[in-house]
Amino acid sequence: MATDIVMPQMGESIVEGTITKWLKKPGDKIQRDEPLFEISTDKVDAEIPAPASGVLQEIKVTEGTTVQVNTVVGTISSDGEGAAVKTAPAAEKKAAPAPAAKAAAPAPVPPPAAPAAAKHEVEDHARSSPLVRKIAREHNVDLGQVKGSGLGGRITKEDILAFIEGQESSGAEAARVAASPATSQPGEGARPSIAPTAPRPPAPSIPGEVVPMTNMRRIIAQRMIESRRTSAHVHCMFEVDLTRIVNLRNKLKSGFEQRNGARLTFMPFFVRAAIIALQQFPIVNASMEGDSIHYHKHVNVGIAVALDWGLIVPVLKNADELNFLGLQRGITDLGERARGKKLKPEEVEGSTFTVTNPGQFGAVFGLPIINQPNSAIMGVGGITKMPLVVTDKDGADSIAIRSVVHLTLGYDHRLIDGAVADQFMALVKKTLEGWSEDVG
Amino acid sequence: MAQLTYLDAIRQGIWEEMERDASVFCIGEDIGIYGGAFKVTEGFIDRFGPERVIDTPIAESAIVGAAFGASLTGMRPIAEFQFMDFISCAMNQISNMVAKTHYLWGAPAPLVLRGPSGGGVHGGPFHSQNPEMWFVHNPGLKVVCPATAYDAKGLIKASIRDNNPIVFFEHKFLYRRIKEDIPADDYVVPIGKARVAREGRDITVITYAAMVHTAMEAAETLAKEGIELEIVDLRTLAPLDGEAIVRSVRKTNKVIVLHEDTKTGGIAGEIAAIINEEAFEDLDGPVVRITALDTPVPFSPPQEERFLPHVRDLIEKARWLKAY
């Protein structure tokens, strides 16, 4: 009996995933639930466990290949059956149809990026040499268009140099034609065919290394630009006297750790203060959906976690129902699992508000970009001691050394007016400065 | 300028160094009265006397041992092997003592181990080998393989003056077959530097010793077909001139490594690896090796003919690589 290994659906909106690494080779014995391969999707990078015990019989989809969800990527045979081990049949399996795709899938599956993929395949199949491929890269030449004169149709150095020379001279010709007076009759001197294939001029060669983006980096880049384009970003910044909380934390942290087995950090204080303010100002916890505003019932807090290889925002669901200890445990757990690539796909979606912590490396404050589809994001700056004017209960002013943090709110001005944002932040400030809640 | 053979050039180089430096002396089998198996040291005993031209018993290990000891005391011995094939008798001395002295004790061992190697003379398996790689694979030694009379003189002089132990391979096929004008002045050729023996744009042929001449001959024929070989004569195998190799590869983008040594473990494999590491993206075709077969050198002339690389082999491979 062979069990099919399929590309899992990592979240409702996900249609495809890339196999980044096989952790086993054909012929390896595997236990059910043992990590089998790693994937990268638009949402999350994850280790996928084996669906059954046995021997990895066949890898059908090689590393680096993107396939639709539910595509069979390999098979596991039950013990003793794996004698005829097959290896992957190369990357032709690219974008194989998903036979068992959910019938009820609401959106039509977008076709794979056909032109780009096809072009790459042509390039891959054009017989050439490392030198020719380097020259092609440097001059942005599609090797599929170069005719090879070498053995077996191989593209030689002479072939590609001649091709580039030809392009340059016809490019010059085209430029001359374009520059000629508009009165020239069609057919007289115009040769219109070459324009679309004219290559970009080669980039000036600045020494360095060109590395393809990781999936995660590509997604971050896309999301950041999208967010900037979507929301009318405005930021406000509040200075918060954190002395009370710093003292409280210093006093309580060892006891907290002993009682609860969890480190006491500053993050839950900020998250808790934000939740109180979000409940007071529900528009800050809302999303814009077309012409409507979706006021979310619960507060799902996205927590930005910096990784060595990028950044991810796991979500603490229903954070408004958690007490302080629950917040602390949830935040710590998500951070650890984010760094260990152990997040489940549903754990990186569904946020209603996001907290990010640019201050952890010493920034005084940051101006964060909104995590769509949220309407606001709070940035926590570094906690530093600074001289502050304090007023005692008799109204007398003095200068004192206080622990201060700068909080910024990045908000979408389409939904949130400045006054609301400021009131929201004023409440956050008040909650923090007059902290009274039991931390557990 | 006088026309000198490859052998005479070496002879003159040693002679000049013995005249110049009293610490230089020769030691070997029948090098004195008899003048050496190939007459490299003919007449030396009359000029320099038996104390500086020492005949030894037939014991290569003893020759190297004595030369090594003398080198530690500040002498500059030149030990001759009648055939480099027999240097294996002294392998322990060379590998464990000579090559490692400077590393272990910081003591220079300025000795030269020289003798004839190579085939094409129907010498059979004991008198035709190219054992240079045994020494290239022994860190601590320099390995020199001149291809021309000019280089042979300049390199033997540089070897005698070098403070490192040198294994100096004289190609016996070249001894009396090649001749060239040698300047009268005192010159040396630097160890570790290759030379471009012929400029060309199409294919680089990396080679050394007698095969340089094979390559030059093939280049003449190929030039008539419009294929221009660039010939890099390594001159020294250790240290290997990687820069010169890569420079030429970057120019022609196609490479043939040609040597008379057998294929497996020959320097061609090492050169291919260097090109792979340093100039992979400059390659417009696979690195081609043309070498002797992986067998002992046959005695039978037709078999030896089959065993050794020839001009025709290079021509054939060069045409193929040009078309690749």
The confidence score (pLDDT) of residue A79 equals 63
pLDDT tens track for A47-70: 888 888 888 988 989 888 888 888
Give the DSSP letter of residue B294: S
User: Strand (E) positions, A242-362?
Assistant: 286-289, 292-295, 301-303, 305-307, 310-312, 315-316, 353-356
CA distance B321 to chain A (A): 9
**Does A131 contact B283 at a Cβ distance shorter than 8 Å?**
yes
**Does A130 contact B285 at a Cβ distance shorter than 8 Å?**
no
pLDDT class of A345 with cuts at 50, 70, 90: confident
pLDDT class of B199 with cuts at 50, 70, 90: very high
Residue A414 has pLDDT above 50, yes or no: yes
Average pLDDT over residues A107-133: 58
The confidence score (pLDDT) of residue A233 equals 95
Average pLDDT over residues A326-351: 91
The confidence score (pLDDT) of residue A121 equals 44
CA distance A264 to chain B (A): 52
φ/ψ of A378, rounded to 5, equals: -105, 130
Q: Which of A137, A146, A157, A210 to mutate to test the interface with B (most CBs of B within 10 A)?
A: A157
**Does B281 contact A131 at a Cβ distance shorter than 8 Å?**
yes
| Facing residue for A129 by CB, picked from B284, B320, B323 | B284
Active-site residues of A, by number, are 413, 417
| Facing residue for A131 by CB, picked from B253, B320, B323 | B253
Residue A393 has pLDDT above 80, yes or no: yes
CA distance B227 to chain A (A): 13
Q: Closest Cα partner for A91 from A67, A107, A109?
A: A67
> DSSP string covering A156-193, please?
PHHHHHHHHHHHHHHHHHHHHHHHS-TTSPTTTT--GG
Flag the least confident range among A387-391, B54-58, B132-136.
Answer: A387-391
Q: In whole angstroms, what is the distance from residue B187 CA to residue B9 CA?
A: 12
**Residue numbers in A near B324 (CB within 8 A):** 150-151, 154, 156
Flag the least confident range among A171-180, B77-86, B153-162, B315-324.
Answer: A171-180
Phi-psi region of B258 (alpha: psi -120 to 50; beta: other; left: phi over 0): beta
Which residue of A lies nearest to B253 if distances are taken between CA atoms?
A: A131
Q: Closest Cα partner for A246 from A357, A405, A392, A428?
A: A405
Q: In whole angstroms, what is the distance from residue B271 CA to residue B102 CA?
A: 27
Flag the least confident range among A53-57, A293-297, A402-406, B37-41.
Answer: A53-57
**Does A157 contact B284 at a Cβ distance shorter than 8 Å?**
yes
Q: Among residues B102, B122, B127, B259, which one is catalytic? A: B127
**Does A134 contact B281 at a Cβ distance shorter than 8 Å?**
yes
| Facing residue for B324 by CB, picked from A130, A134, A151 | A151
Residue A107 has pLDDT above 70, yes or no: no
Which residue of B lies nearest to A154 if distances are taken between CA atoms?
A: B324
Q: In whole angstroms, what is the distance from residue B171 CA to residue B214 CA?
A: 13
CA distance A209 to chain B (A): 14
Q: In whole angstroms, what is the distance from residue B52 CA to residue A255 CA?
A: 89
pLDDT tens track for A417-439: 999 999 999 999 999 999 988 88
CA distance B309 to chain A (A): 24
- The position carrying tokens 């896309």 is A222
Q: Which of A133, A138, A155, A156 to mutate to test the interface with B (most CBs of B within 10 A)?
A: A156
pLDDT class of A15 with cuts at 50, 70, 90: confident
pLDDT class of A80 with cuts at 50, 70, 90: low
pLDDT tens track for B161-192: 999 999 999 999 999 999 999 998 899 999 99
Average pLDDT over residues A374-385: 95
Q: Which helix (H) or strand (E) holds B211?
A: helix B211-224
CB contact at 8 A, A205 and A368 = no
Tokens (6 digits) for A232: 């009318």
Give domain A234-433's CATH superfamily: Chloramphenicol acetyltransferase-like domain (3.30.559.10)
pLDDT class of B206 with cuts at 50, 70, 90: very high
The confidence score (pLDDT) of residue A34 equals 87
Average pLDDT over residues B43-49: 97
φ/ψ of A396, rounded to 5, equals: -85, 135
- Report field, pTM of the whole predicted structure over 0.90: no
Chain B residues whose C-beta is within 8 A of a chain A C-beta are: 253, 280-285, 320, 323-324
Catalytic residue flag (residue B127): yes
**Where exactly are the structural domains of chain A?**
2-94, 199-230, 234-433
Which residue of B lies nearest to A157 if distances are taken between CA atoms?
A: B284
Q: In whole angstroms, what is the distance from residue B258 CA to residue B130 CA?
A: 13
**Residue numbers in A near B284 (CB within 8 A):** 129-132, 156-157
Flag the least confident range among A124-133, A295-304, B240-249, B280-289.
Answer: A124-133
Residue A104 has pLDDT above 90, yes or no: no
- Dihedral sign, CA of B16, B20, B24, B27? positive
Residue B289 has pLDDT above 50, yes or no: yes
Which residue of A lies nearest to B250 if distances are taken between CA atoms?
A: A131
**Does B280 contact A130 at a Cβ distance shorter than 8 Å?**
yes
Average pLDDT over residues B44-55: 97
Tokens (6 digits) for A300: 């799902």
Flag the least confident range among A309-313, A378-382, B158-162.
Answer: A309-313
Amino acid symbol at A388: L
CA distance A149 to chain B (A): 8
The confidence score (pLDDT) of residue A125 equals 62
The confidence score (pLDDT) of residue B57 equals 97
**Does B282 contact A134 at a Cβ distance shorter than 8 Å?**
yes
The confidence score (pLDDT) of residue A200 equals 54
Q: Closest Cα partner for A11 from A347, A346, A351?
A: A346
CB contact at 8 A, A397 and A391 = yes
Range ranked top by mean pLDDT from A96-100, A251-255, A283-287? A283-287
Rounded to the nearest integer, the mean pLDDT of chain A is: 82
> DSSP string covering A1-51, please?
-EEEEE----STT--EEEEEEESS-TT-EE-TTSEEEEEEESS-EEEEE-S
CATH architecture of A2-94: Beta Barrel (2.40)
Rounded to the nearest integer, the mean pLDDT of chain B is: 96
Looking from the CA of A267 toward its CB, the CA atoms found within 13 Å total 28
Average pLDDT over residues A309-338: 92
pLDDT tens track for B251-264: 999 999 999 999 99
Residue A120 has pLDDT above 80, yes or no: no
**Does B324 contact A132 at a Cβ distance shorter than 8 Å?**
no
The confidence score (pLDDT) of residue A362 equals 85
Measured in whole angstroms, how far is the alpha carbon of residue B20 from the centre of its chain?
24
Average pLDDT over residues B96-122: 95
- The position carrying tokens 């934390």 is A249
**Does B285 contact A129 at a Cβ distance shorter than 8 Å?**
yes
CB count in 10 Å sphere of residue B139: 9
Q: In whole angstroms, what is the distance from residue B144 CA to residue B208 CA?
A: 10
ipTM for this model: 0.75
**Does B281 contact A156 at a Cβ distance shorter than 8 Å?**
no
> DSSP string covering B117-155, please?
E--SS---TTSS--THHHHHTSTT-EEE---SHHHHHHH
